Amino acid sequence: MRLKIIRMDLPLKHVMTVFRGTISVIRTVVVELEQDGLRGYGEAYEDQHWGISIESMVRSLEMCREKMGKYALADPYAFGRFVAPIMRDNPAAASALEMAACDLWGKLRNQPLWRVWRTDPRRLPISSYTLGLDSLYRILEKFNEQPDWPLYRVKLGSHEDMTILRELRKRTNAPFRIDVNGCWTSQQALEYLDELKTLNVELIEQPLHPDDWDGMRAFKEKCPFPVIADESCRCEEDLEKCVGFFDGVNLKPVKFGGLNPTRRALEKARALGFKTMIGNTIESSIAASATSQFAPQLDYVYLDGPLLIDKKIGSGVQLDRGRIILPRENGTGVSFHCR
């Protein structure tokens, strides 16, 4: 099996701001695995807040190059065990590599991955469309570009948060899913709660800092809609910690080290009674198509990452105003256009 590592800079359509910084370009690593004339693709992007850099991912992947030359893919579970000793300290790089292996495995089996997993493509939730944190003027400008989605994911974390929600509500009846990235205090969250109830908020993701467990318990007890953990659930071992503090968990593959580890975390989350969410944030169609394979199994999903990027590097899952159209091609259904 041949390994190819491709570094890419993907410009965003709009500058994106979260409480931890502002970005205009996503630095990403695309992994290509080739065997028997077929190629599988995976992807992970740089996120300095999580300690994920392009350089660290490339270093970890380069350590696997020689091993890949001697390996024939037959089972992605065995493949995951094979690379685990090298990749365990870099789940983002592991996710890109394992994602590529799952894509290639489906192609070798001549089936879409969702079919191999025996999931029902008729049961698909609606994907939200993300409005990134920005000034009120810029957020309304972004909204006007996509004014007819049935569901919006609104990134918050500024002094204008409630004003933003009020102004958006004047323009749409669609439910809001709020992502705060842990930047509210417990006092703010409780103060906002009464008005949030009137604004058709469907759920709230990570309202408080991941270390504020007492505040989270108090907020969850009073919040009438689901509270979802993201930064508070960074690995499989964190699932038990979130019991009693959250109603659901965001299970991004980049946190868990790939698609099969995420499947295991998904099963565990359900057993613990959690609602489940997975999103692809601002990744290209490579990661979005891989993430889409989970869609029939999820309560909540967001696959709009490729719509936020101003450079098309592949094709795969499609969104029709939130309606997910799973790729029918084999593997994760992705094709890569910029090799």
Same domain as 216, residue 103:
no
Query: What CA–CA distances, in Å, run from 61 to 98, 131, 182, 312?
Result: 11, 33, 31, 24
Secondary structure element (H or E) that encloses residue 54, with its range: helix 54-62
pLDDT at 177: 98
Q: How many domains are there within the chain?
A: 2
Mark 48-67 as b/e (b = at least 16 C-beta within 10 Å): eeeebebeebeebbeebeee
pLDDT at 263: 95
19 band by pLDDT with thresholds 50, 70 and 90:
low
Q: Report the pLDDT averaged over residues 76-80.
A: 91
| 3-class DSSP state of 328 | coil
Same domain as 121, residue 196:
yes
Query: CA–CA separation, 192 vs 9, rounded Å?
Result: 38
Same domain as 124, residue 82:
no
Whole-number mean pLDDT of the chain? 93
Same domain as 201, residue 55:
no
Q: What is the CATH number of the domain that holds 128?
A: 3.20.20.120
DSSP string, 283-308: --HHHHHHHHTTGGG-SEEE--GGGG
pLDDT in tens, 252-267: 999 999 999 999 999 9
DSSP string, 225-254: S-EEESTT--STTHHHHHBTTBSEEE--HH
Same domain as 305, residue 284:
yes
pLDDT in tens, 80-127: 889 988 888 899 999 999 999 999 999 999 999 999 999 888 889 999
Same domain as 123, residue 74:
no
Listed in sequence order, the residues at least 6 apart from 102 whose beta carbon sits closer than 8 Å to its beta carbon are 40, 42, 76, 113, 258, 259, 260, 290, 331, 332
Listed in sequence order, the residues at least 6 apart from 230 whose beta carbon sits closer than 8 Å to its beta carbon are 179, 181, 182, 205, 206, 249, 250, 252
Check residues 51 and 11 and name the one with the higher pLDDT.
11
Structure tokens at 275: 């609602």
Query: CA–CA separation, 183 vs 157, rounded Å?
Result: 6
pLDDT at 62: 94
Same domain as 121, residue 220:
yes
Domain boundary (113, 129, 162) is at 113
Lowest mean pLDDT among 80-94, 169-183, 317-331: 80-94
Residue 5 has pLDDT above 70, yes or no: yes
